[in-house]
Amino acid sequence: VMRRDVEKAVQGFAHPAPSPDIASLKGLRGIIAARLSGSWIERPQVTLTTEADATSLVEMRKQIQEEWGVKVSYNAFLVKLAAKALKEFPYMNSQLTPAGIKIQPEINIGLAVDTERGLMVPVVRRADKKSLYEINEDLQGLAQRAADGRSLPDELSGGTFTITNLGVFEIDAFTPIVNPPECAILGVGRIVSKPVGLNGQVVLREMMGLSLSFDHRLVDGAPAARFLQRIKTLIERCSLMGLERQGG
């Protein structure tokens, strides 16, 4: 055995060939890993869960689609209603800065999108100023560009609150991780028919699971619970008010 043989063997151990079964933690996957790891380690996160009776939302969506002649996603409704709740509870639209807790002046809502490249979160800017129709159009364009890998840099930054919807996968509830530097993230589950008590009778209603994760440094449990309760109420009392086709 010669010296060069030993050196060659050592080099082989030090630099093993990559296994075809191991995916590289680089690029977008690496960015996702770094951001979520940092969020989990640095932020004391709490998740609250509840169920909302989405029967009126389901009916409203059907009515609006018939009147407008376009497909309107549940996510568009959720962004619209969340923006309304954030305007009423501005501390949920905050972030931690070196100077303290800053209430963000704009309500920019990100929507988690599953793409072939990985998780992306395009942002609907000034969502509280937009109509349901405008939000729906924004989401269609943002989601398509994200799926095609054509998102503009400013479409993936500047969010102040995030919504992640796993309802299509028949998920009822989960613990979403806060998207830094935001204060909170709303996880949405599937809509499923369930027997519930209503006015002394057992009836079938369309129930939706809601999971709110928040940074406990920025907000306490009770205020966060009131915010989630408000979103639940808005879903359950969904009406045409504020859901017009045009305007803010």
User: How is the chain split into domains, by residue range?
Assistant: 44-236
Query: Would you state the pLDDT for residue 2?
Result: 52
Give the CATH H-level superfamily of domain 44-236. Answer: Chloramphenicol acetyltransferase-like domain (3.30.559.10)
Query: Would you state the pLDDT for residue 105?
Result: 98
Q: Which two tokens stand for residue 186?
A: 């709303």
Query: Would you state the pLDDT for residue 67?
Result: 93
- On whether the pTM is more than 0.75, the answer is yes
| Runs of H (alpha helix) within the chain | 3-14, 27-42, 55-68, 74-88, 132-148, 221-236
* Closest of 54, 97, 122 to residue 183, by C-alpha: 97
CB 222 within 8 A of CB 60: no
Q: Which two tokens stand for residue 214?
A: 């928040």
Catalytic residue among 216, 217, 226, 245: 216
CB 179 within 8 A of CB 157: no
Round to whole Å and give the CA distance between 149 and 144: 9
CB 124 within 8 A of CB 139: yes
pLDDT tens for the chain, 248 residues long, are 455 554 555 555 555 555 667 777 777 778 878 877 888 888 999 999 999 999 999 999 999 999 999 999 999 999 999 999 999 999 999 999 999 999 999 999 999 999 998 999 999 999 999 999 999 999 999 999 999 999 999 999 999 999 999 999 999 999 999 999 999 999 999 999 999 999 999 999 999 999 999 999 999 999 999 999 999 999 999 875 556 666 54
Query: Would you state the pLDDT for residue 243?
Result: 67
58: amino acid identity, one letter: V
Catalytic-residue membership of 216: yes
Query: Would you state the pLDDT for residue 1?
Result: 47
Query: Would you state the pLDDT for residue 6?
Result: 45
Round to whole Å and give the CA distance between 213 and 161: 11
